[in-house]
Amino acid sequence: MSTFTIDSLGIVGTGAMGRGIAQIAAQAGLTVSLYDTNPQAVAAARQYLQDTFAKLAEKGKMSAEDGAAALARVLPCNALEDLAGCDMVLEAIVERLEVKRDLVAKLEAILRPDAVIASNTSSLSITAIAVGAKQPGRSRRLSTFQPGAADEGGRGDRRPVWRPRRG
Ligand SMILES: NC(=O)c1ccc[n+]([C@@H]2O[C@H](COP(=O)([O-])OP(=O)(O)OC[C@H]3O[C@@H](n4cnc5c(N)ncnc54)[C@H](O)[C@@H]3O)[C@@H](O)[C@H]2O)c1
């Protein structure tokens, strides 16, 4: 099984799932760029993260310094194009096939050719989402987002490693 390591994660859709994934990714040391068609959802997600890190610090589960550092790694974005430099972009948008396909097409036009496009879909086939994509082989379904989480990619042979290359 091959592995790949990422430093930066873009999250499209910052609702219930997107913000929770952002928390774990930022705590793991990744730079996390947040984008949502609803700017208020991005602001709400950032506030959620700020509150969550503060609560974890209060409970002694994370230091205040680490919380501040994790929050500093979270970058609210105003446009999808702001995710251009990400190693991987995960979509956690509405569970509608045509909307997810449209997003994949937009991301393909923005991202580097080697960047991974991942979906948090709960019920759709990743193959169906990647239909029409120029590089369907780089699409992945990530059903669990923890360090070393297994993925269910189209080739089924790659595993994201939640460890930043730097530091
Ligand atoms: N809620 C769960 O328990 C759960 C569990 C596993 C997987 N999922 C999957 O995760 C995804 C997100 O679910 P959720 O519960 O977080 O949804 P949500 O409704 O809480 O959040 C979705 C967000 O996506 C944004 N959005 C919609 N279309 C967009 C687009 N084209 N571009 C950018 N942003 C867009 C919305 O503004 C909203 O903020 C879905 O595919 C869902 O099936 C959900």
Mind listing the pLDDT tens digit for each residue in 134-149?
877 767 666 544 333 3
45, with CB counted inside 10 A (0-12, 13-18, 19+), is buried
Alpha carbon of 157 to ligand 1 centroid (Å): 26
Q: Yes or no: say if 84 and 39 are a contact pair by the CB < 8 Å rule.
A: no
Ligand 1, atom 43: closest residue by C-alpha = 122
Amino acid at 102: D
> How does residue 130 score in pLDDT terms, banded at 50, 70 and 90?
confident
Q: What is the pLDDT of residue 153?
A: 39
Residue 44 or 158, more confident: 44
pLDDT mean across residues, the chain: 84
Give the Å distances, CA to CA, from 84 to 26, 79, 81, 117, 163: 18, 10, 5, 12, 20
Q: pLDDT at position 104, please?
A: 94
Query: Model's pTM, two decimal places?
Result: 0.87
Distance 89 CA to ligand 1 centre (A): 14
Q: What is the pLDDT of residue 40?
A: 98
Pocket lined around ligand 1, Cβ cut-off 6 Å: 12-18, 36-38, 41, 92-95, 99, 103, 120-122
**Distance separating alpha carbons of residues 62 and 59, to the nearest angstrom:** 8
Instruction: Give residue 146 CA to ligand 1 midpoint distance, Å.
Output: 18
The fold of 2-161 is Rossmann fold (3.40.50)
Residue 166 scores a pLDDT above 60:
no
